Amino acid sequence: MTDSVIIKFGMHTNTTMASVRNHSAESTSISNVLCQDYFIFPGETALGDGFRAFLYFLGLAYCFIGLSAITARFFRSMEAVVKHSRTVVEIDPLTNSEVVRQEKVWNYTIADITLLACGTSFPQISLATIDAIRNLGNLYAGGLGPGTLVGSAAFDLFPIHAVCVVVPKAGELKKISDLGVWLVELFWSFWAYIWLYIILEVWTPNIVTLWEALLTVLQFGLLLMHAYAQDKRWPYLSLPIARTERPEDWVPEEVASCKHDNSVSDEHSDDILEVADGERKAIVDIFSIHSREGPVYQNVPGMDLAEAPDEPLNGKIDVKQSHVLLIWKQQFVDAFTVDSIEGRKLNNICLRLAIIFWQTLLAPWRILFAFVPPHQIAHGWIAFICSLIFISGIAYIVTELTDLITCVTGINAYVIAFTVLASGTSWPDLVASKIATERQTTADSAIANITCSNSANIYVGIGIPWLIDTAYNYIAYKEPLRINNAEGLSFSLLVFFATSVGCIVVLVFRRITLGAELGGPRLWAWVTCVYFMLLWMIFVVLSSLKVSGII
């Protein structure tokens, strides 16, 4: 069998394909004539490679729509986890009386790094882990995972910053309130990519040892400890930088009454709630609303019914008579219900048709994700874990489709990973930072999600898959793990490092001149946005040309 012939049965790759893929990954093209891979049935091979590539790209895009759809449930569950508080009883030393207070279980900074950053990076992390498991027994590591994670880091740093900088209203400024924590997170983010370069080119070139993989994973724990020490201002371990006006809660409370069109389904990741408080109005995305005075509920999807008052809700469910199964049942009812657009005052027939088409595309995902338990159970943990399981399932399909696209088109897998996979799997990151920019009075969570996601991409997303592969190779063969196209990956790291310095310099310049990293005068916000997008294009083009062997 030649290197250009790849044989695969269904969605299971045999040993021959694994050997060919590992030992000829440096090749820039795969014959698109003899490719016999298929996704569902063998008859796909008779459709023609061009048409098959088109179908597989459509399938990839539909998987990314699924990731967008599960994002709504994922964020509601994450919010339920973060807002969980416990009762603390203390003795007042002056009066000797008991003082009862509510204390948040999750620390603000730790929630940003673990739940927000790791959670939104889970598509990339699970994709890389699945790719590693599929390569067990091979001496060469798969390139799909590392390529996606490095490409995702670039997408996080440039396009997501570009979006967040223009999200605030014209003239509105949102700055990082805790510069100390951000600098710690930024340091570990930069060090992650320097560390990866050291592994690939300096310490053990083109080889990953068991100890290198283990040290990579352990450094995520060091990031958590260092960030927590900075947040608590521990002596000798923290920078002497004061914190300014950071909100007490990770998800800020709003004194607001909620108005919502009941016909709008909560499955859309772009659902918009109109929140009115006297003369003020705000646009809120996905996150539920709280009120210090006591929330006012009007059948707003995603509201924590367990915290609602005892009176009957204005919607469909009475808290006194409700049971979690009724809430779960309502999820399926909503999933099978087509949203009405009559109340949206849409006179444009094209826009109406576009909405109907979009709802039709979302329908299968909405029905599937209705199986995710309500976030009212166990403070949202069950829904949080189930959401991650669904994300892992989608990531598995994405890896299979990517293999097929590489097979029928001959496009280098790294190129697909840097571009399509990185952008699609980073969608939850973009949504998270956009929401944090809108919902929070500061830029801490929005920017922390970017820097911490990049750290998680290396320490967890690359570290765990490499640890799995190196441990298996060490036990089974006493051999280290070799890296395909390490030179191309190292070059991408250098390009990313150089362009990321350009990004950080602009953020610092905006802080010095405008007083904030995000927002500001509309013209300068858009100029910054365009600049960040240009940096991303430079990274994508140069990295793709290098791994393809053109430069």
Per-residue pLDDT band at 225 (split at 50, 70, 90): very high
Could you give the CA distance from residue 444 to residue 440 in angstroms, rounded to a whole number?
A: 8
CB contact at 8 A, 58 and 354: no
DSSP state of 205: T
Average pLDDT over residues 476-494: 84
Q: How many helices (H) and strands (E) does the chain have?
A: 19, 12
Residue 114, domain CATH: 1.20.1420.30
Could you give the CA distance from residue 431 to residue 427 in angstroms, rounded to a whole number?
A: 6
Residue 310 has pLDDT above 50, yes or no: no
pLDDT score, position 263: 36
Q: Does residue 488 lie within any of the structural domains?
A: yes
Residue 27 has pLDDT above 70, yes or no: no
Return the beta strands (E) in 66-162 as ranges: 85-91, 98-104, 140-141
- Report pTM: 0.71
pLDDT score, position 342: 52
Average pLDDT over residues 479-490: 82
Nearest to 547 by CA among 505, 501, 494: 494
Average pLDDT over residues 48-62: 87
Could you give the CA distance from residue 150 to residue 493 in angstroms, rounded to a whole number?
A: 7
Residue that the structure tokens 């005052």 belong to? 345
Beta-carbon count within 10 A of 64 CB? 20
Q: What's at 62, amino acid-wise?
A: Y
Bridge-based pairing state of the strands 140-141 and 481-483: parallel
Q: Which one is predicted more confidently, 255 or 331?
A: 331
Please give the mean pLDDT across all residues of the chain. 75
- Residue 406 structure tokens: 């590489």
Quote the distance between the C-alpha of residue 240 and its chain's center: 31
CA distances in angstroms from 195 to 119, 234, 425, listed in the order given: 23, 26, 23
CB contact at 8 A, 517 and 507: yes
Per-residue pLDDT band at 509 (split at 50, 70, 90): very high
* Residue-number span of the structural domain to which 452 is assigned: 107-237+392-548
| pLDDT digits 0-9 by tens, 416-471 | 888 888 888 887 778 778 877 887 788 887 887 788 888 888 899 899 999 999 99
DSSP state of 305: G
Q: Which one is predicted more confidently, 349 or 497?
A: 497
Supply angle C-alpha 528, 533, 534, rounded to 5.
Answer: 95
Nearest to 456 by CA among 193, 197, 240, 272: 193
Residue 527 has pLDDT above 90, yes or no: yes
Average pLDDT over residues 138-157: 83
Average pLDDT over residues 366-394: 87
Residue 512 has pLDDT above 90, yes or no: yes
Average pLDDT over residues 488-516: 91
pLDDT score, position 345: 55
Per-residue pLDDT band at 325 (split at 50, 70, 90): confident
Residue 116 has pLDDT above 90, yes or no: no
DSSP 382-423: HHHHHHHHHHHHHHHHHHHHHHHHHHHH---HHHHIIIIIHH
C-alpha torsion 87→91→95→98, nearest 10: 40
Nearest to 53 by CA among 478, 494, 403: 403
Domain count, the chain: 1
Q: Does residue 417 lie within any of the structural domains?
A: yes
The region of weakest confidence among 97-106, 155-164, 331-340 is: 331-340
pLDDT score, position 281: 34
pLDDT score, position 301: 38
pLDDT score, position 523: 92
Per-residue pLDDT band at 163 (split at 50, 70, 90): very high
Residue 216 has pLDDT above 60, yes or no: yes
Nearest to 57 by CA among 358, 408, 314: 408
Most confident of 17-21, 325-329, 528-532: 528-532
Per-residue pLDDT band at 508 (split at 50, 70, 90): very high
Identify the three-state secondary structure at position 143. coil
Beta-carbon count within 10 A of 475 CB? 9
Rg (CA), the chain: 24
Q: Does residue 272 lie within any of the structural domains?
A: no
Average pLDDT over residues 176-195: 90
Residue 81 has pLDDT above 80, yes or no: yes
Percent of the chain's residues with pLDDT above 90: 18
Average pLDDT over residues 148-157: 88
Residues sharing a CB contact under 8 Å with residue 512, sequence separation 6 or more, in sequence order? none
SS3 string of 146-196?
HHHHHHHHHHHHHHHHHHHHHCCCCCCEECCCCHHHHHHHHHHHHHHHHHH
pLDDT score, position 506: 94
Residue 261 has pLDDT above 50, yes or no: no
Q: Does residue 215 lie within any of the structural domains?
A: yes
Residue 397 has pLDDT above 50, yes or no: yes
Helix (H) or strand (E) holding 483: strand 481-483
CA distances in angstroms from 473 to 379, 435, 477, 482, listed in the order given: 40, 42, 5, 10
CB contact at 8 A, 416 and 148: no
Give Dmax over CA atoms of the chain in angstroms. Answer: 85
pLDDT score, position 339: 60
Q: Does residue 285 lie within any of the structural domains?
A: no
Residue 336 has pLDDT above 90, yes or no: no
pLDDT score, position 441: 82
